[in-house]
Amino acid sequence: MADHYEVLGVSRDASQDEIKKAYRKLARQLHPDVNPGDDASERFKLVTHAYDVLGDEESRRRYDMGGDENGGGFGGFGGFGDIFESFFGASGGGRSARPRSRRERGEDALVRVDLDLGDVVFGAHRDIEVDTAVLCETCQGSCCQPGTAPVTCDVCGGSGHVQRQVRSLLGNVITTQPCGSCEGYGTVIELPCGGCAGQGRVRTRRTVSLDIPAGVETGLRLQLPGSGAVGRAGGPHGDLYVEVTVAPHPVFSREGDDLLATLEVSMPDAILGTTTTIEGLDGTVDLELRAGVQSGDVLTIPGRGVTPLRGSQRGDLRVGVQVVTPTRLDSAQRRLIEDFAKKTKAPEPHLAQFQQGLFSKLRDRFRSH
Ligand code: ZN
């Protein structure tokens, strides 16, 4: 028999809470009312059985020790199967088999939203178009023409199942099968709703109003429970997932909750120092450059970065200085620089430790903060 932990997809040291959650999730997926197939119902049995063993501290302990999992008087797998069938009437000799439900859970839906960096910093509001099934207004999910109702199937008498006698080597055997006349529903819709062809729902485009929190990043999916498609015959809604894509910004890039940019500074400004005003994503910031500022120096503007997804404290804006060497000088400028070099007795070029370009130099300095 399959390992119960593997069946539930949990680790051997999973907490009771994790086991319960894993079971609920699988049970929803595999429930016979949702999945009429034999495969799903077999898996559902396995999953439910695994949970019966692992969901109880005492029987889990026995199972972990390799003991007889059914020793607790539960009645073994066969007994369990009977209980299962009396509840769900999926297959076999169900004495009290129940008809299938027409109601099904609706599908999940996925939409994509494009954002820019400003949306990431401050959060954003979007009205997005979603194309999913919604409740049929004509029948309100009943699937029947207004004023009519499903009638009891006269083949199975409303049970959704028929019994057949089959000859076998062991003699006559009674088997129970879904009723072919009502497809196992126990009722028949004689006058299907014209608005939805008897489905209880129609496909339509609608607008969903969405608040996107600050701090999201490309690939992140926001889940909106119950905003997906409505189920067949007015069944519960699926969920809506919104996947965000953030366009690159021409100036600012994001690292964690911080924003990074480069400030290009002319040689005279770097030598003499200056004040300047830069345009952040949310207004201007005054910066003071000290005289003698170097390429690779980083100026930190606190609280001008990104608001984290879970939190309210904005990161910082970090500006890395890059001194720009002039490349075209006229003869007068050239004389000035030569004069300057003579007077300052500038050192000869000399070796120092290797630095991997400005950007890695910047990154190292960010890290050391
Ligand atoms: Zn309808």
Per-residue pLDDT tens digits for 16-56: 899 988 888 888 887 766 666 667 777 877 888 888 888 88
Residue 85: pLDDT band with limits 50, 70, 90: very low
Residues 6+ apart with CB under 8 A from 349: none
- 148 Cα to the center of ligand 1, angstroms: 12
Domain end point (choices 228, 246, 264): 246
Domain boundary pick from 246, 265, 284 = 246
Number of independent structural domains in the chain? 3
The CATH number assigned to the domain holding 32 equals: 1.10.287.110
DSSP character string of 175-227: EEEE-TTTTTSSEE-SSB-TTTTTSSEEEEEEEEEEEEPTT--TT-EEEETT-
Strands 171-178 and 221-224: unpaired
Pair 38, 174 in one domain: yes
Dihedral angle of Cα 262, 267, 270, 273, to the nearest 10 degrees: -130
Can you give the pTM of this predicted structure? 0.61
The dihedral built from the CA positions of residue 133, 139, 142 and 143, taken in this order, carries a sign that is negative
Rounded to the nearest whole angstrom, what is the distance from the C-alpha of residue 202 to the centroid of ligand 1? 8
Residue 104 lies in a domain: no
Q: Are residues 195 and 311 in the same domain?
A: no
Q: How many whole angstroms from 135 Cα to the centroid of ligand 1?
A: 8
Question: Residue 59 in 3-state DSSP?
Answer: helix
The per-residue pLDDT for range 166-199, each reduced to its tens digit, is: 777 777 778 888 999 999 999 999 999 999 999 9
Is 117 inside a domain boundary? yes
Based on the fold, state whether residues 59 and 131 are members of the same structural domain. no
Query: Where residue 279 sits, what CATH number does that domain have?
Result: 2.60.260.20
Q: Is residue 153 part of a domain?
A: no
Q: Please name the residue ranges forming H helices in 31-67.
A: 38-54, 57-64
- In whole angstroms, give the CA distance from residue 189 to residue 198: 8
Q: What is the per-residue pLDDT for 196?
A: 95
Expressed in angstroms and rounded, the spacing between residue 235 Cα and the centre of ligand 1 is 13
| Domain final position from 246, 267, 295 | 246
Residue 72 confidence (pLDDT):
37
Domain assignment of residue 217, given as a range: 109-146+189-246
